[in-house]
Amino acid sequence: MSLAKSLKFKFMKDYGAPALLTFQNFKKRKPRPIPEAFGPPLKANQRLKEILTRHYFLSRYVPGVKKVAWVTSGAPVELLRAFDFYTIYPENHSALVGAKKQGADYCGIAESDGFSQDLCSYARIDLGHMLSGKTPAGKLPKPDLLFCSNNICQTVLYWYKAIAHELDIPLIHFDAPFVTTQQTEADVRYMAQQLQDMIPVLERISGKIFYLDDLEVILKRSMESSQTWGTILKEMQAKPAPMTIFDAFGHLAPIVSLRGLPVAEDYYHILLEEVQDRVARGIGAITEERYRLIWDNIAIWYKVRYLATFFAERKMNFVSATYTNAWAETTGYLDVKDPWNSMAKTYGQIILNNNLKHRLDLMKSMINDYGVHGMVMHSTRSCKPYSVGQFDLRKALNTELDLPAVILDADIADERVWSEQQIQTRLEAFCETLEDQVSAT
């Protein structure tokens, strides 16, 4: 560790980051007018922006002070936290690029270097960033380690292999067997052993000794954060719901990229307090909530505002989503007294590593618990594991629950895939069907 870099990092943490946030608040643009269909915005939005800005800002000064790891969203990051790695999530960064409607630009850079347009847009954006150095976050630090898991998809392994080859850095892969019917004890032992086998490698790369007590503290924080996030989502069962799933898409960021850290734990207590206060006072996310919807799959980042407004103006609120639920669903398996097996159970059974029956049962439960009237399914070109089976799921839910549903063909971050006319036609037809069905009951 460089003393000069360590002192600079501390200065930026104590003085530089607060000064940046003060400057941003001073110069921030006049906010866009809020459509009448929406209720008051969440006060926690400002705190969320501060947390993420600070995280990316400090990442510029962390090389030479802490080891940097690039991590996939489904990887057991708690183990890295025990070695004090500074973590960056390329998927979060790619979502940020997509939200700023810059996804096509970054994807084009990767495609010009030979990567297929059929590859996940998160991967293409990240590879485009790696090849060009471009980022709306200012600058991302070069990783000392890549840490991925195939529990979300197989693409991440090949994506991270490409980065490891290009940057000549080590890659650790956490292999999670797919749950075809139910997770077996053999699967749990296999994954638990992998985690323990990573310790000597992580000690060598980080230069730090592993202490089980440290991991237990981190796991406890992670459990607390995830459970609080789950409680926040359950508050949306209230009528009217205190926020929309489009709000939750943004507030998901800390549980993904800062899980296991005190800042995430503290943040979700702040958000929960505000959401519960809104429920108590009957403050809804939209001014008149008549229809309640569920969203399936990852957000369409470059069209979040458009979709939120489209539905709010029709008195429709998304109150639940399989995507936002993913970081709360398996938290109950975590056990600080049995870290290895419990992490294996937690990360091995997430929604994208589980069978379609599990997903169908989960969706039926959510539809019932949240009083859902209709469903929008995003069939994304980028995430095939999430999109495969959606037509079967829609058919089953329509047959068993008589639930109106529409499937939108789009992409998570590559705006070139969006077809305005096609999407508009499908959404208008869906809204008509939903309104007629609810009116008839």
- Summarised one tens digit per residue, pLDDT across range 353-387 is 999 999 999 999 999 999 999 999 999 999 999 99
The helix-helix angle for 339-348 and 185-206 (nearest 10°) equals 110
Give the per-residue pLDDT at 201: 98
The mean pLDDT of the chain is 95
Domain range holding 428?
3-24+33-440
Q: What is the pLDDT of residues 75-108, one digit of tens each?
A: 999 999 999 999 999 999 999 999 999 999 999 9
Return the number of other C-beta atoms located less than 10 Å from residue 236's C-beta: 27
| pLDDT greater than 90 at residue 33 | no
Pairwise CA distance, residues 221 & 229, whole Å? 12
β-partners of residue 354 are 179
pTM to 2 decimal places: 0.95
Q: Which residue has the higher pLDDT, 362 or 441?
A: 362
> In the predicted model, what is the mean pLDDT of residues 298-304?
97
> For residue 11, is pLDDT > 90?
no
What domain count does the chain have? Answer: 1
- Could you tell me the pLDDT band of residue 161, with boundaries at 50, 70 and 90? very high
- 82 DSSP 8-state letter: T
> Could you read off the pLDDT of 253-294 as tens digits, one per residue?
999 999 999 999 999 999 999 999 999 999 999 999 999 999
Give yes or no for a contact between 285 and 309, defined as CB atoms under 8 angstroms apart.
no
Res 29: pLDDT: 65
When pLDDT is cut at 50, 70 and 90, the band that residue 248 belongs to is very high
**pLDDT tops 90 at residue 28:** no
Tell whether the model's pLDDT for residue 441 goes beyond 80.
no
Reply yes or no on whether the pLDDT at 1 is more than 70.
no
Percent of the chain clearing pLDDT 90 (strictly above): 89
DSSP string, 271-333: HHHHHHHHHHHT--SBSS--EEEEEESS--GGGHHHHHHHHHTTTEEEEEEHHHHHHHHTGGG
Q: How many CB atoms lie within 10 A of CB 155?
A: 19
Confidence of residue 393 (pLDDT cuts 50, 70, 90): very high
Q: What is the pLDDT of residue 233?
A: 98
**pLDDT for the residue 39:** 95
Q: Is the pLDDT of residue 35 over 90?
A: no
Mean pLDDT over 154-160 rounds to: 95
The CA distance from 408 to 423, in Å, is 6
**pLDDT value at position 30?**
67
pLDDT of residue 438: 83
Position 394 scores a pLDDT of 96
At residue 84, the pLDDT reads 97
Phi and psi at 253, nearest 5°, equal -55, -50
